Amino acid sequence: MIKVNYEIFQDSYFDFEKVLMELFAERKGRGENTAMTTGAGSTTIEGLTVGAAASGVTLGAAALTRDNIVDLIHSVDIAYRKSPSFRIMMNDTTMAYIRKLYYSAAGGGTLYTPGSLAGAPAYIENVPVFINNAMADIGASAKSILIGDFSKYKIRRVAGLRMKVVDQLYAATDQIGMDLLWRWDAQILNAGGNPIKYGVHAAT
């Protein structure tokens, strides 16, 4: 619930309601992304790192290598690797780390290939990359990389968004409460082949 002073609506020189809706939309988008990435699945959405129950590769506690990435790619069944939705997912910090990895000695070529067009995904080992900053950083016990056929992650949305406005609960402080409500859920479809796997760092 967001509490808003009535004075803001009365005194503002700009369209505050429009700004508020933009803030709600951003909060909704970030909240959904976090839930779809790390949601526990019991009290909230089943996130990708939870639904992807199979570990593809165990990584170093605070590092990863090209061999790790190649092994992770090939840990996914080839039928899923042929899917147009086969991707690698990581956060931007992990991407920066991988961009510094070379095939051999420094100067031997990086694993990273930029997208050829504006807005196109970059590639690592010829696999397109999703940047998702809800993913964990490289670190002990963290699941820093996901890989697989992301078309197997299904999202179900019910009806539309509802804005709830409460004008009595905070009346004593001359405020109104605003809340955004919607119904949705998500889950990985897994027939036993583990279409999406994670790379998890060792505990020590």
Eight-state DSSP code of residue 189: -
Confidence of residue 126 (pLDDT cuts 50, 70, 90): very high
- The model's pLDDT over 154-173, given as tens digits with 9 standing for 90+, comes to 999 888 888 888 888 998 99
Residue 200 has pLDDT above 80, yes or no: yes
Q: What is the pLDDT of residue 105?
A: 62
Q: What is the pLDDT of residue 41?
A: 86
CA atoms within 13 A on the CB side of 82: 3
Q: What is the pLDDT of residue 164?
A: 86
β-bridge partners, 200:
58, 143
Residue 107 has pLDDT above 70, yes or no: no
What whole-number distance in Å separates Cα of residue 48 and Cα of residue 55? 12
Q: Let me know: does 94 contact 143? Beta carbons within 8 Å.
A: no
Closest C-alpha among 56, 40, 58 to residue 48: 40
Q: What is the pLDDT of residue 119?
A: 75
Closest C-alpha among 166, 170, 199 to residue 63: 199
Tell me what the mean pLDDT of segment 67-90 comes to.
96
153-166 and 175-188: which strand pairing?
antiparallel
Q: Let me know: does 199 contact 145? Beta carbons within 8 Å.
A: yes
Q: What is the pTM of this model?
A: 0.84
- Domain boundary assignment for the chain: 2-201
The helix/strand/coil state of 135 is coil
- Looking at every residue in the chain, the average pLDDT score rounds to 89
In sequence order, what DSSP letters do the residues of 35-59 get, joined into one string? HHHH-BSSSS-B-HHHH--EEEEEE
Query: CA torsion sign, 166 to 171 to 172 to 177?
Result: positive
